[in-house]
């Protein structure tokens, strides 16, 4: 008898979970990994693409290279999830399993921010980063505003990183003094759980003449008037709007009844949903950690160990601890790091490592170890 597992979504969570189950169970495993895309990319590679540092081909890993014992990959669009019966429908087939893992990430609601689709830009989707790569070289002067539409959003440091990298990009092109850069955030401080990281970022903004507007998500953009309106109805001149779009759970998850109050509730220690045999890992759940690859991977490890323990009949793993390290691009070819414990009581805490060139190397190794582990590169 084989263990039949369905893994929905081949991002950070789905890839790590499938890899661990394959390593532990091997040919006794009958795992189907389903994703609508043909390739994987690491979230932060969108900066490489957007600023023309790497090509699309260099950062996308084709799923045909994800080859593991007991695992088959299907490139299909999931159209229905029936968590009560552990059954999943795609546009091509119907699948049933003993264990179902939902790792479908977060979708974007571009229409939520009026004017974004007509006249704004974003770098949160891969297509958006590619469009910016083509657009940025045509931009020569004016007001650039990076603004967040709503919370929660993936990788909370990413908006701060984007303005620091934009500063370097415009400086290299010799047009920095013709451009103003503003960051409008929904938080008082850039990284709320880590005051040290927030201070370092605020100092970096001040040194580079980047304006930080706290506690104000963006509301609408008027590309005709070139004006951005914030939640408190204040207006900002804006010639180039880079939006962090509103995030939402994929519609197929809403329709499945798995989500409650926007995201999938899970048992924090085990990542189990209220449906027996169904787990939810990564951005799609609301376990309390930020929406980031390192946390999706950490949650996937705990869910995988729990599935393996139940299959092999031994005790389950220690509870998920909600700890993860995020690298932060500070520009000037330096990277900082913050290790955050999101499930620590009474509130999340963070430890900051100063930006350095060593951390540039470490961040690069973070990517190469994942490519090697998952894709054998
Ligand atoms: C600009 C940027 C920078 C970032 N930087 C970092 C960073 O430095 N560190 C970090 O840890 N995180 C970072 N992130 C966040 C990180 O990319 C995500 O949090 C992470 O990918 C979440 O993993 P996941 O497995 O939950 O979902 P995802 O990786 O989003 O995977 C979900 C998968 O589900 C698939 N899918 C969705 N719907 C369907 C469907 N109906 N049918 C079939 N397949 C479907 C998608 O194609 C996708 O492959 C960054 C994100 C951005 C946008």
Residue 375, domain member (yes or no): no
- Tell me which residue range forms the domain holding 223: 110-247
Residue 12 beta carbon below 6 angstroms from any ligand 1 atom? yes
How far apart are the CA of 105 and the centre of ligand 1, in A? 5
- Asked if 178 and 141 count as a contact pair (C-beta separation under 8 A), the reply is yes
If asked whether residues 96 and 133 sit together in one domain, one would say no
CA 307 to the chain's CA centroid: 24
Q: What does the pLDDT average to over 209-231?
A: 98
Residue 338, domain member (yes or no): no
Residue 326, domain member (yes or no): no
Is residue 227's pLDDT more than 80?
Answer: yes
Residue 361, domain member (yes or no): no
Mapped onto helix, strand or coil, the DSSP state of residue 31 is strand
Burial of 251 (0-12, 13-18, 19+ CB in 10 A): exposed
Residue 171 beta carbon below 6 angstroms from any ligand 1 atom? no
How far apart are the CA of 124 and the centre of ligand 1, in A? 10
pLDDT band at 156 (very low <50, low <70, confident <90, very high): very high
- Asked if 247 and 150 count as a contact pair (C-beta separation under 8 A), the reply is yes
Residue 72, domain member (yes or no): yes
How far apart are the CA of 229 and the centre of ligand 1, in A? 29
Distance, in Å, from the CA atom of 183 to the CA atom of 264, rounded to the nearest integer, reads 30
How far apart are the CA of 372 and the centre of ligand 1, in A? 19
If asked whether residues 89 and 165 sit together in one domain, one would say no
Residue 102 beta carbon below 6 angstroms from any ligand 1 atom? no
How far apart are the CA of 153 and the centre of ligand 1, in A? 11
Closest residue by Cα to atom 41, ligand 1, is 78
Question: ∠ CA(60), CA(66), CA(72), 5° rounding?
Answer: 130
Phi, psi at 207, each rounded to 5° = -60, -30
- Asked if 185 and 213 count as a contact pair (C-beta separation under 8 A), the reply is yes
Q: Which residue did the predictor score with more confidence, 146 or 321?
A: 146
Residue 130, domain member (yes or no): yes
If asked whether residues 87 and 139 sit together in one domain, one would say no
Closest atom of ligand 1 to 363 CA is 8
How far apart are the CA of 12 and the centre of ligand 1, in A? 7
Here the tokens at position 29 are 């495993």
Residue 157 beta carbon below 6 angstroms from any ligand 1 atom? no
Residue 77 beta carbon below 6 angstroms from any ligand 1 atom? yes
If asked whether residues 172 and 230 sit together in one domain, one would say yes
pLDDT band at 228 (very low <50, low <70, confident <90, very high): very high
Among the listed ranges 2-16, 35-49, 68-82, 339-353, which one has the minimum average pLDDT value?
Answer: 339-353
Residue 73 beta carbon below 6 angstroms from any ligand 1 atom? no
In DSSP terms, 242 is beta-bridged to: 121, 146
If asked whether residues 78 and 95 sit together in one domain, one would say yes
Phi, psi at 186, each rounded to 5° = -85, 0
Query: Which of 232, 247, 262 is the last residue in one of the domains?
Result: 247
| Torsion sign (Cα): 33, 37, 39, 40 | negative
Tens of pLDDT along 269-302? Answer: 899 999 999 999 999 999 989 999 999 999 999 9
If asked whether residues 212 and 289 sit together in one domain, one would say no
Residue 365, domain member (yes or no): no
pLDDT of residue 116: 98
Of 255, 267, 304, 259, the residue nearest 13 (C-alpha): 304
Is residue 342's pLDDT more than 80?
Answer: no
CATH number at residue 100: 3.50.50.60
Residue 108 beta carbon below 6 angstroms from any ligand 1 atom? no
- Asked if 102 and 284 count as a contact pair (C-beta separation under 8 A), the reply is yes
Q: What does the pLDDT average to over 231-244?
A: 97
- Asked if 265 and 164 count as a contact pair (C-beta separation under 8 A), the reply is no
Residue 36 beta carbon below 6 angstroms from any ligand 1 atom? yes
Distance, in Å, from the CA atom of 231 to the CA atom of 132, rounded to the nearest integer, reads 25
Pocket of ligand 1, candidates 8, 10, 12: which has the most ligand atoms within 8 Å of its Cβ, to mutate? 12
How far apart are the CA of 296 and the centre of ligand 1, in A? 9
* CA-atom Rg of the chain in angstroms: 21
How far apart are the CA of 370 and the centre of ligand 1, in A? 14
Mapped onto helix, strand or coil, the DSSP state of residue 233 is coil
If asked whether residues 255 and 205 sit together in one domain, one would say no
Q: Beta-carbon neighbour count of residue 36 at 10 Å?
A: 15
Distance, in Å, from the CA atom of 145 to the CA atom of 355, rounded to the nearest integer, reads 24
Q: Let me know how long the chain is.
A: 377
Here the tokens at position 165 are 């990298």
User: How would DSSP label each residue in 121-187?
Assistant: B-SSSHHHHHHHHHHGGG--SEEEEEEE-SSS-S-TTHHHHHHHHHHHHHHHTT-GGGEEEEEE-SS
Which helix (DSSP H) or strand (DSSP E) does residue 120 occupy?
A: none
If asked whether residues 123 and 201 sit together in one domain, one would say yes
How far apart are the CA of 353 and the centre of ligand 1, in A? 25
Closest atom of ligand 1 to 13 CA is 25
Residue 257, domain member (yes or no): yes
Query: Which of 297, 312, 327 is the last residue in one of the domains?
Result: 312
pLDDT > 70: what percent of the chain? 100
CA 312 to the chain's CA centroid: 32
Of 37, 29, 113, 16, the residue nearest 71 (C-alpha): 29
If asked whether residues 62 and 175 sit together in one domain, one would say no
Burial of 283 (0-12, 13-18, 19+ CB in 10 A): buried
If asked whether residues 234 and 115 sit together in one domain, one would say yes
Task: Name the maximum alpha-carbon separation found in the chain.
Answer: 68
Query: Which of 291, 312, 333 is the last residue in one of the domains?
Result: 312
Residue 300 beta carbon below 6 angstroms from any ligand 1 atom? no
pLDDT of residue 220: 98
Residue 282 beta carbon below 6 angstroms from any ligand 1 atom? yes
If asked whether residues 115 and 168 sit together in one domain, one would say yes
If asked whether residues 98 and 140 sit together in one domain, one would say no
pLDDT of residue 218: 98
Closest residue by Cα to atom 17, ligand 1, is 43
Q: What does the pLDDT average to over 353-365?
A: 97
If one counts the domains in the chain, the total is: 2
**Model's pTM, two decimal places?**
0.97
Closest atom of ligand 1 to 125 CA is 53
User: How would DSSP label each residue in 264-317?
Assistant: B---TTT-B-SSTTEEE-GGGB-SSS-S-HHHHHHHHHHHHHHHHHHHHTSPPP
Distance, in Å, from the CA atom of 124 to the CA atom of 129, rounded to the nearest integer, reads 7
Is residue 377's pLDDT more than 90?
Answer: no
Is residue 195's pLDDT more than 80?
Answer: yes
Burial of 312 (0-12, 13-18, 19+ CB in 10 A): exposed
pLDDT band at 150 (very low <50, low <70, confident <90, very high): very high
Residue 293 beta carbon below 6 angstroms from any ligand 1 atom? yes
């Amino acid at each position: 008898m084989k263990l039949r597992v369905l893994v929905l979504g081949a991002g950070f969570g789905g890839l790590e979970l499938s890899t661990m189950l394959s390593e532990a169970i091997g040919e006794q495993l009958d795992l189907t990994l389903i994703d609508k895309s043909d390739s994987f990319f690491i979230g932060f590679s969108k900066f490489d693409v957007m600023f023309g540092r790497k090509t699309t081909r260099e950062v996308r890993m084709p799923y045909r290279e994800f080859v593991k014992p007991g695992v088959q990959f299907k490139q299909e669009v999931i159209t229905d999830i029936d968590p009560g019966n552990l059954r999943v429908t795609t546009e091509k087939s119907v699948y049933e399993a003993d264990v179902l893992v939902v790792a479908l990430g977060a979708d974007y609601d571009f229409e939520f921010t009026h004017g974004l689709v007509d006249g704004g830009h974003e770098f949160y989707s891969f297509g958006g980063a590619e469009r910016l790569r083509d657009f940025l070289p045509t931009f020569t002067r004016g007001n650039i505003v990076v603004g967040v539409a709503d919370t929660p959003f993936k990788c909370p440091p990413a908006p701060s990183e984007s303005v620091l990298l934009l500063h370097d990009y415009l400086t290299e092109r010799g047009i920095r003094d013709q451009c103003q850069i503003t960051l409008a955030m929904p938080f008082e401080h850039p990284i709320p759980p880590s005051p040290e990281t927030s201070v370092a970022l605020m100092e970096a903004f001040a040194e580079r003449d980047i304006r930080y507007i706290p506690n104000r998500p963006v509301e609408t953009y008027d590309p005709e008037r070139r004006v951005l309106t914030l939640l408190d109805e204040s207006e900002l001149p804006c010639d180039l709007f880079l939006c962090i779009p509103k995030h939402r759970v994929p519609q197929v998850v809403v329709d499945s009844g798995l989500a409650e109050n926007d995201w999938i509730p899970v048992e924090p220690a085990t990542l189990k949903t209220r449906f027996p045999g169904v787990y939810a890992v990564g951005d799609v759940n609301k376990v309390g950690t930020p929406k980031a690859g390192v946390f999706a991977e950490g949650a996937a490890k705990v869910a995988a160990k729990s599935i393996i323990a139940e299959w092999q009949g031994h005790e389950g793993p220690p509870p998920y601890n909600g700890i993860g390290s995020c690298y932060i691009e500070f520009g000037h070819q330096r990277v900082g790091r913050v290790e955050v414990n999101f499930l620590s009581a009474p509130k999340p805490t963070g430890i900051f490592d100063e930006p350095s060139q060593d951390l540039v190397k470490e961040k690069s190794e973070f990517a190469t170890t994942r490519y090697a582990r998952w894709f054998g590169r």
